[in-house]
Amino acid sequence: MNTETFGKTLLELYRLAHLAPIQTFQRLALDALSARFDFDAAWWGMASQPPDGPLEIHASLPYRLPAFYPSLWDEIKDEDTLAAAVMATPGRSVNFGRKAVQSSPGLASLMARFGITSCLCTVTLLPELNLMAFLSLYRCEGKPPFTEHERRTKQILMPHLTAALSSNWMLHLERVRANRASARASLAVVDRRGMLYVADQALTAALRLEWPHWTGPMLPEELTRHLQAGTTFQGKQLGVRMHPVGDLWLVDLRVSSLPTRLSPRENEIASQFSTGASYKEIARNLGIAPATARHHLREIYRKLEVSDKAQLAQRLFAADELTLDLEGRSIFEELPGLSHGFGQLLAD
């Protein structure tokens, strides 16, 4: 890749970061890269290394590889000598040839299954989130190994790829915020396990209203349970909704005006009722009598001065309520403004 091609690649990456939907950006970015850089397959995602546990992969994209590739790797990750070598030199691309990709039985079996004979891998640390971004480019049987020039090119490209991914996520948050015109909302992108990838600058302060000692990078356990159940969370200080975006989730969090009026039990009942549950279903979910659930609902209506379910839902999420259409492009179009990088997150 010469200087002119490198420059065009960067322009295309940042163009995609601004225009591509969040759920397709990584694939489109690798399409653009593969048109200028010769590789057969790739694996791009986020990872973490707990102090007392093995390496964990989060929200990764196997490119020109089956969707179950991460689960195959997970079975042999203790034998992955490539990962250990790359993590020892973060920021530096490492070139692995045929001998290296066959350095352990498990790794050799995985590489042979997909005909992979050489690999370029880079890890970029994101210390604010206790995460690392990784990208492995693969060549298969019949292709020459990667050259030193290609290794250096990949090393220079990696920070731009990470920045473009960060920019893509943050621009989506800013576009959602602009459509909502809400001063009280905070937004974040997480995976199904509650791992935080990117957020606006108000997130930390907002979460600490409900969980004063929260530090991340995982969402609070109580919030993660609601995420995995697909339910709205209504706490003493915060109301939180989760919206699926491909394999990730948009977390829509705002300071609630209800805590001084409703008890924790009433908050939970109001949340369930406003999102479609009947009083009988609420009673079953909470292990109370249907008559008790109806009594709570009467008290909720009285305290909030509402007369039906629609008014209740509107009060719960106040005047800035908005149903988010995240499957289309309508709210992601042509919004000017600056993006925020990973390094600005959770700095508090």
What is the reported pLDDT for 336?
27
- Measured CA to CA, the distance from residue 233 to residue 91 in angstroms comes to 39
| β-bridge mates for residue 247, sequence order | none
Which of 284, 282, 252 has the alpha carbon at shortest distance from 267? 282
- Measured CA to CA, the distance from residue 103 to residue 122 in angstroms comes to 19
pLDDT in tens, 233-251: 888 788 888 888 777 888 8
The pLDDT of residue 200 is above 60:
yes
In 3-state terms, what secondary structure has residue 182?
coil
pLDDT in tens, 309-333: 888 877 776 533 433 333 333 222 2
- Measured CA to CA, the distance from residue 292 to residue 46 in angstroms comes to 46
The pLDDT of residue 265 is above 90:
no
Least confident of 44-48, 53-57, 226-230, 253-257: 253-257
CATH architecture of the domain with range 3-169 = 2-Layer Sandwich (3.30)
pTM of the full structure: 0.68
In 3-state terms, what secondary structure has residue 315?
helix
Q: Where in the chain is the domain with CATH 1.10.10.10?
A: 182-344
The pLDDT of residue 99 is above 50:
yes
List CB contacts of 242: < 8 A, sequence separation 6 or more.
226, 227, 230, 232, 249, 250, 251, 252
Number of H helices, E strands in the chain: 13, 10
What is the reported pLDDT for 333?
28
- Measured CA to CA, the distance from residue 77 to residue 60 in angstroms comes to 15
DSSP tag of 51: T
Are the CB atoms for 176 and 331 separated by under 8 Å? yes
DSSP tag of 115: T
pLDDT in tens, 1-55: 888 998 999 999 999 999 998 889 999 999 999 999 999 999 999 888 777 778 8
Average pLDDT for 114-127: 93
Query: Considering the chain, what percentage of its residues have pLDDT values greater than 70?
Result: 86
Which of 222, 223, 314, 217 has the alpha carbon at shortest distance from 275? 314
- Measured CA to CA, the distance from residue 217 to residue 31 in angstroms comes to 30
Query: In this structure, what token pair is assigned to residue 167?
Result: 């920019």
Q: Where in the chain is the domain with CATH 3.30.450.80?
A: 3-169
Question: Helix H segments across the chain?
Answer: 3-19, 25-34, 69-76, 81-87, 98-101, 105-113, 148-180, 203-210, 221-229, 264-274, 279-286, 290-304, 309-316
What is the reported pLDDT for 324?
38
Cis status of the peptide bond prior to 217, with omega within 30 of 0: yes
Most distant CA pair in the chain, distance: 74
List CB contacts of 288: < 8 A, sequence separation 6 or more.
none
Using the CB atoms, write b or e for 119-135: b if 16+ within 10 Å.
Answer: bbbbbbebeebbbbbbb
In 3-state terms, what secondary structure has residue 132?
strand
Q: Which residue has the tokens 């298969």?
A: 140
Tell which wins on pLDDT, 54 or 289.
289
- Measured CA to CA, the distance from residue 171 to residue 19 in angstroms comes to 9
- Measured CA to CA, the distance from residue 346 to residue 207 in angstroms comes to 11
182-344, CATH topology level: Arc Repressor Mutant, subunit A (1.10.10)
pLDDT in tens, 84-97: 899 999 999 999 99
